[in-house]
Chain A
Amino acid sequence: MYDIRQFKPALYILLFMGIGGFALAAESSGALVLGWTALLFNAWLVKTRRFQPIPRWTSNLILLAGVPWVLVQSRGGTMNDEVVWIGQYIVLLQIVKLYEQRGNRDYAQLLVLGLLLMVAAAINTASLLFGLLLLVYLFLSLYCCLLFYLKTEADSAKRLLALPAEKVHSATLRQDQRYLTRSMRRITGFVAAVAIFFAVIVFLFFPRINGDGIFGVRQMIAEQPLTGFATDVSFQQVARITQSSAVVAHVQVWKNDLLVKGGESLLLRGVTLERYRGGSSESVGRQWEWEHVRSDDDGYSSADNRVTQLRENPPPGTDLWRQNVSLLPTGTNVLFAIAGPVSITTHRPTRIDFSPATGTLRSPAALLEPLNYEVVSLNNLDPPPDAEIAPPDLEQPDPQILAFASRPEVCGSNAHGSLASQRTSLPGTVDPLDGQIASNFERYLREKFTYTLDLTDARRIEGRDPIVAFLYDLKRGHCEYFAGAMTLMCQSLGMQARMVLGFKSDEFNEVSGQYIVRQSDAHSWVEVRTADGWKSYDPTSGTPADLATRPKGGLLQRIKHLADYFESTYAENIIAYDNVDRQNLVQTAESAMYHATTTSRSWFDQAGNMAESVRFWKISSTVLGATVWLMVAALLIAFASFFMEKWHLRRRAARIGIGALPIAEQERLARQLAFYDHLILMLGRHQLVRPTCLTPLEFVESLLFLPSDVYDTINRLTKLFYRVRYGGAELSIGQRRRLETVLGQLSSSLAQTPVAKR
């Protein structure tokens, strides 16, 4: 019986992939190292025949000991943590089972545990790499299961039939194994094709629930604030910010319906922060924090729609910036867009909180799953005329900030002195010098201050206003310090200014035509109200001034962009596929079918109208006549070939010597013995003619003078002739074709050999 030798290697590869996939999904390097080491060691033991299964009581003890440990570790954690711990326990189960393997039952358990492990991993991650790994894993597990089934059946058959191996003929074994690999490939391919078909159908059309479900949504977890965007800015924590390159969003931008292909930075506004809580007694517990000031009559919530009009459409000719944003969860409820949003269209009906004065958008709750939306913006910071509100009440900035801002070298000066002293407008109102002062602030901070993310040695400023310390002592900091300082300097002079938090992205993916927005692109800048309206200022030093002069990325960059394109496509179309997508697909399918039905109906109607026209009858009668003549000709040709075939068969029967048989038998044998007829004709061409007094066998014996290989072939063909003619053997079409091949080879052998008659 065949020993299914491929099963164990396939099983070990499967276990490798399972543990690797889970470790990738759960980001658990410990499970990976432990699992793979144990697996490799076990494989080595089995290969070197040193393996001894551990006693059952030992394995049971280990597994039982693991249960309370898992329960303790997962207690108090989130649902996500529980799944991770369960997955790690399954890894432990697999390792124990591997060292306990005795028979087919253990292998079956290993297969099932591996599948459960991948399911646990699939719940935990949305990575494209894991998705590809899962696909390969499923194919391999399919192949493994087929082999396992063959193994179990062969083993049970061996036991039932009790046939010793030495009693089985070796030819029988060879025959059983022949083409087995090809057969397994066919079966695996067919099963895989059908399974994939059903997987796609279920994935596309199976209904999803609208709520969170039992397990909730855990595939998209918001990042920690210190690595990127956060809705509040607090200088209380002095630490080193770790920049994360995790992708936050993919944004495709059109300007007046022309795709923007990089070349300029993309500024996405998130939240605006107007008030800074300094060190005054009112701000105890919330010192040195920026906050958004919102008045009661600013902002509204839209209805639960897909399309929300935020302001009146601008007059024709106005530049419109359309952004298609695929936003991954940030852990906040902020929606990002270019300044001056006009309308927003979401993927699913969503309520939008909009502030016309600041132009910021929010969703009602924090985003825990991806959101696709499209915003049309003016790229203009000025609010609609009816959305103007009074400037908010702000705390009086630290006098040191005012002093700093008033310096001529900071705010700028002219023949009349520093610009700060020349500002005469009331606080909170616009002065003609505001724009110039703001520009000077921006330039000064850029030139004189240094950008850094590491402020761990700034603990010496504790107890002091961080902005003051930044301006006077540190002279370095990150973008929030720069933006905060400039905003406070403007506010100290009575200008209307606010800090804006959002993203600034320069990375354009040429493959997908999208901007890639990462956590590390989180940025702060300043918006100041000038005589020409609200303007943006970016005082952070070290930011590239000219994107066009930056060298373009090489091959590695392109590969990264391609990978990012696949990742984003995977996340949008697979991971984020939800009920809305399903309904859209169903509606699209229905409308396509309806369209097809209507189109075909119209075709039939047109055909009907055409049939009623006289011209149609003229054409159709001509066509019909031609068709009839063609059919008659085809019929005549068919009859002729039929009779020709019969005649050929009769002639062949006469040549072979079966002319005396009934006609039906003649024709049957003439077809079957066509090879012998060709043989006789071929020999005749080489002047080897069979005398009528000799039987075919006697004729062959008279050809002993021919080369041995030729003689053997003719001999075998003659014996085959006898088997068919007298033995009732039947040749299939394939066999007849093979015989023709043999005859062809024989012909070339005869042609090369000079035939000398005895």
Chain B
Amino acid sequence: MFSRSAGTALPKNGNDLTLVRQRPGVDISLTGFIYFGIMLFMGVAATQNRANLLFGIFGLMIGTLVVSGVISRLVVRGLNVRRILPEHGVVGATLHATYQITNCKRYWPSLSVTLAELDGVEGFATQPQCYLLHAAAGMTASVPADFHPKRRGLHELNRYQFGTGFPFGFVKRAIIRGHPDRILIYPALGAVDERLLAMCRAAELTGSTVRPQAGGSDEFYGVKEFRSGENPRLIYWRRSARTGTLVSREMTRVAPPQLLLLVDSCQEQASLASAEMVERTIAMAASLASVALAEGLSVGLVAWSGHWLALPPARGKQQRTELLTALARLPLNKKKQLPELLDQSPALIRTGVTPILFTPREVQLGLIEEVRGEMLVISASTPLAGAWFRFHENVNFKTCMPTPFEIAP
């Protein structure tokens, strides 16, 4: 009835794997056995007593047992499921999903049906399931369900199992159906200390971060032709009178700082502690990226994702999605170490860009790295990292990796 997820060897902490309960196709419950016993007793009483009413009751009990097997089979058949999943989830945060269950039967309703996912369960702390009280014939019922993601990455949901004990709980039926769906789980996003953000926003050591750009309202930048819809207060009347064409002033705005996140995901040792640090590193990078983008900063990313991934700094929701998706899908990295990561970064580091190195271990930058420019180093193994980033207590970095961790013998 209960099984571990397929294709895994048990880590040291065997509780990390999600229990998957797969019911047998037909099962007789304890209630069913008790009922069967009472039915036999009734048969004996009827036979011995010769009270014909007891024969009637005995027959009723037999009929009830037979029909409960038939109805339970009817109830789980003819159901179509459509998962309505959000765009993504976040490790440690509850994900609210909905199952739309359509009863395609023409006459028979479905009552008291449990739906439990069988595939992709390892991405979640508990086996996702929901309970459908009632779906009339031809009707669709929407059933809410809460998922609790525990692993980042792209999770594929496919097979699910309908189970019911309706109408009396004597006979329990279950059938397996499948419908492929995917959901991306972002790394855990924690709260970022304001001091770190301020540090990121501070002026660069190599120069001013204030780069005038058009489109602001600070200082005079230039003039341009006035277009309908713009602020009429910016019309430069004098110049307009002189040229005969309406022109408006362009003002400057302060360009926000640009961050470039360098994520060192190299796992030098094949141990759970090492993997935990890597996950913490990735989660810290994701948290900072999310908060910084929300504050209007430009954020870029360099990391090993099976190939060297380099996202130039940019702003906006699209950039956030790309960054977090990339971080969510970072694979296990045992080869590409820090120096190689640093070698990828110079192309993106330019004036105004603040590189921030996220690494799972304590590092000392050498002379060459010093020459390349100052960068912020955030090490997951330092106590400072714990102060700067606060994650929800539900987050367990030991189980955040995208696939179950295998310990070398």
Contact = CB atoms under 8 A, between A and B. Distances in A.
Interface of A: 1-2, 112, 118-119, 122-123, 131, 134, 138, 142, 145-146, 149-150, 152-154, 157, 160-163, 167-169, 171-172, 175-180, 182-183, 186-187, 190-191, 194-203, 206-209, 212-219, 574-578, 734
A202 B55 contact: yes
B136 A191 contact: no
Given A213-B49, A574-B53, A576-B52, 5 more contacts: A1-B133, A145-B168, A169-B144, A191-B167, A206-B58
B13 to A, nearest CB: 24
Given A172-B142, A209-B50, A213-B49, A183 B109 contact: yes
Q: Chain A contact residues: over half helix, strand or loop, or mixed?
A: helix
Contacts of A576: 52
B144 A150 contact: no
Contact of B49 (A2, A123, A150, A178): A123
Interface string B137-150: 11111111110000
Contacts of A177: 134
Contact of B62 (A146, A171, A178, A202): A202
Most buried by B among A142, A187, A209, A218: A187
A152 B167 CA distance: 12
Given A2-B133, A187-B109, A195-B63, A213 B52 contact: no
B57 interface: yes
Most buried by A among B68, B133, B169: B133
Given A202-B55, A215-B45, A182 B136 contact: yes
3 nearest A-B pairs in the assembled complex, by CB-CB distance = A202-B59, A198-B63, A183-B109
B2 interface: no
Contacts of A213: 47-50
Given A187-B71, A213-B49, A163 B144 contact: yes
14 contacts: A1-B131, A2-B133, A149-B165, A161-B145, A172-B142, A172-B144, A175-B139, A179-B139, A180-B134, A186-B108, A194-B63, A198-B59, A575-B53, A576-B52
Nearest to B113: A153
Given A191-B67, A191-B71, A196-B63, A577 B136 contact: no
A176 B131 CA distance: 11
A215 B167 contact: no
A170 to B, nearest CB: 12
B272 to A, nearest CB: 29
Contacts of A202: 55-56, 58-59, 62
Given A149-B169, A177-B134, A195 B48 contact: no
A187 B48 contact: no
Contacts of B67: 190-191, 194-195
Nearest to B146: A163
A613 B42 CA distance: 61
A178 to B, nearest CB: 7
A163 B144 CA distance: 9
A586 to B, nearest CB: 15
Contact of B112 (A149, A167, A201, A578): A149
B111 A138 contact: no
A168 B313 CA distance: 41
Contacts of A216: 49
A638 B70 CA distance: 40
A177 B145 CA distance: 18
Given A194-B66, A217-B50, A734-B138, A199 B56 contact: yes
B54 interface: yes
B397 interface: no
Contact of B142 (A138, A175, A203, A218): A175
B136 A178 contact: yes
B196 interface: no
Given A2-B133, A169-B144, A199 B112 contact: no
A206 to B, nearest CB: 6
Interface in B103-129: 107-109, 111-112, 114, 129
A10 B111 CA distance: 20
A638 to B, nearest CB: 27
A186 B107 contact: yes
Contacts of B165: 149, 153
Nearest to A131: B53
Contact of A214 (B49, B58, B59): B49
B131 A161 contact: yes
A623 B111 CA distance: 54
B160 interface: no
Interface residues of B, number: 54
Contacts of B58: 199, 202, 206
B358 interface: no
B166 interface: yes
Nearest to A121: B53
B54 A119 contact: yes
A123 B109 contact: no
B63 A183 contact: no
B323 to A, nearest CB: 30
Contact of A154 (B49, B51, B133, B146): B133
A214 B134 contact: no
A112 B39 CA distance: 12
Given A198-B59, A201-B59, A213-B49, A179 B136 contact: yes
Nearest to A734: B138
Contacts of B109: 179, 182-183, 186-187
B80 interface: no
A175 B47 CA distance: 48
A153 B167 contact: no
A153 B111 CA distance: 10
Nearest to A153: B112
B294 interface: no
Contacts of B57: 118-119, 122, 138, 199
Nearest to A124: B51
A453 to B, nearest CB: 35
Given A119-B57, A138-B57, A186-B108, A161 B129 contact: yes
A103 to B, nearest CB: 16
Contacts of B53: 122, 131, 134, 574-575
B60 interface: yes
B290 to A, nearest CB: 25
B337 interface: no
A199 B63 contact: yes
Contacts of A118: 57
B146 A203 contact: no
Contacts of A196: 60, 63
B8 interface: no
A116 B140 CA distance: 41
Interface in B170-196: none
A689 B131 CA distance: 51
A324 to B, nearest CB: 21
Interface string B54-91: 11111110111011101100000000000000000000
B61 to A, nearest CB: 8
Contacts of B167: 145-146, 149, 187, 191
Contacts of A157: 114, 131, 133
Contacts of A219: 51
A122 B51 CA distance: 7
B130 interface: yes
Contacts of B141: 172, 175-176
A131 B52 CA distance: 11
A191 B71 CA distance: 9
B91 to A, nearest CB: 19
A153 B131 contact: yes
Contacts of A574: 52-53
Contacts of A178: 136, 139
B131 to A, nearest CB: 4
A131 B57 CA distance: 11
A214 B45 CA distance: 8
Contacts of B114: 157
A349 B367 CA distance: 118
A574 B55 CA distance: 10
